Amino acid sequence: MEALALRCLFPGFVGTTPPEWVRRRAAQGLGGIVLFGRNVETDAQVTRLTAALHTERPELVVAIDEEGGDVTRLEAKTGSSYPGNLALGVAADPSLTTAVASALGGRLAGLGIDLNLAPVADVNTNPLNPVIGVRSFGSDPRAVAQHTAAWITGMQGAGVAACAKHFPGHGDTSVDSHLALPVAGEDPHVRALDPFRAAIDSGVRAIMSAHIAVPTIDEGPATLSSKLMTGLLRDELGFQGVAVTDGLEMRGLAERHGLGDRAVLALAAGCDGLCVGGGLCDEGVVDEIVAAITAAVERGRLTEGRLAEAATRVGALASPFKEKQIADRRDGDEIGLEAARRAIRADGAVRVGGDVAVIRFEPPASIAAGDVPWGAATALARRGVRVVETVTEVAGKDLVIVVRDLHRQPENRLQVDALLSRRPDAVVVEMGVPVCRPQAAKAYIATHGSARVCADAAAELMTG
């Protein structure tokens, strides 16, 4: 029972080399490891890290959240070379989406990554959603479905398993599941399931659960609901791959059950891979979960057959790709910048001169994205502009106002409006979801994401 339980776990760890306990657990049959930004320094270092893990157990699944755009682990220090989903959705070319995912997948495969916990397949139907936003391909379920399938085709074609998330759809919520349990206001059959059907049809290897309540189907969190993870995902949609949980330590689950119980209930509901390690990342977490699962089987709360089924699915997750040749790919910066350019939308006199003051308005912190650099100042400076980052306008300099998801920030909106009343010539650059253009903004650029390449594309427009 302990061996089967261990094979279902995807913990994380701190550091840029695998600690002793991770190596030992990998050799004992650990199912997988999830890498975070804290585990990444350089490509060469990541390659050594994954090689060390696979040396302990070749079948070990090394996973990472590398969505591109706002959520990047490989480029958390600089910003991503690839635009995120909303930019790709706005570009409206599924072949471009496939090319971007293929380039990203080729890089991941070369680093020894087996599973990418992406793409986001959520339909962003609630503009006030605090955690999905630009991570979604958009609000049209048909378009989101088309781009989801295209992204999966590119990623898996490059030799890395993809994972569509967050089932059955986190788009119609107004709460971040990292902080509390969101409630979906709409039955997922109306819109949210379309991208997951497309993902399944395209052969996606894994689907990640959402820590959300879907009252039209079940009152409890989807991750712990057999009606959703078995009845809907398996029986109705016919998914046969690996169902992976979102992080078990997230507060969307933590308010109701202890960690061990969460793991047991997720397995009983139909989940196979248990992700933990974003916050809880030591061996004690693994011990606690393995002990809870073993005890649950002994007491009849979880059947041995269900546990064995989950372990078998996880074991087969990446096997089709282990010997797959990495697809030929274009340079990531090249295809990423091309996609970012095609996603830019601009209106008015957006050109600036050689001396620019940049005022950036910070949005609320995103746990999903982490602390990744963003904004336009560095991109402008790379193009030879003399840039001053400031909190107020500077006499004699052009003004660029940079915002992200301004529609969710009433205090920032008031400050931006006040600035524009004094400086109607300012260029406003929105790097989030562009649903709140200030009325006084005569020059406006929407990048549809805050990736480094999105900033570069905006800087190109402003400097000509």
Residues annotated catalytic, as ranges: 178, 246
Residue recorded with tokens 């840029």: 16
**Separation CA 290–CA 307 (nearest Å):** 11
Cβ-based burial of 431 (10 A; exposed 0-12, middle 13-18, buried ≥19): buried
Query: Are the C-beta atoms of residues 340 and 453 closer than 8 Å to each other?
Result: yes
**Separation CA 340–CA 85 (nearest Å):** 11
Residues 6+ apart with CB under 8 A from 295: none
Q: Write out the two tokens for 131.
A: 């955690």
The number of CA neighbours under 13 Å toward the Cβ of 263 is 29
- R_g of the chain, CA atoms, integer Å: 22
**Separation CA 316–CA 290 (nearest Å):** 20
Q: Write out the two tokens for 36.
A: 């975070």
**DSSP symbols for 359-424:** EEPPPPP-TTT-S---SSHHHHHHTT-EEEE-SS--TTSEEEEEESSGGG-HHHHHHHHHHHHH-T
Residue type at 183 in one-letter notation: V
8-state DSSP, 166: E
Query: Are the C-beta atoms of residues 209 and 271 closer than 8 Å to each other?
Result: yes
Q: How far is CA 200 from the centre of its chain?
A: 19
Residues 6+ apart with CB under 8 A from 392: 359
Task: Kindly give the pairing relationship between strand 355-360 and strand 398-403.
Answer: parallel
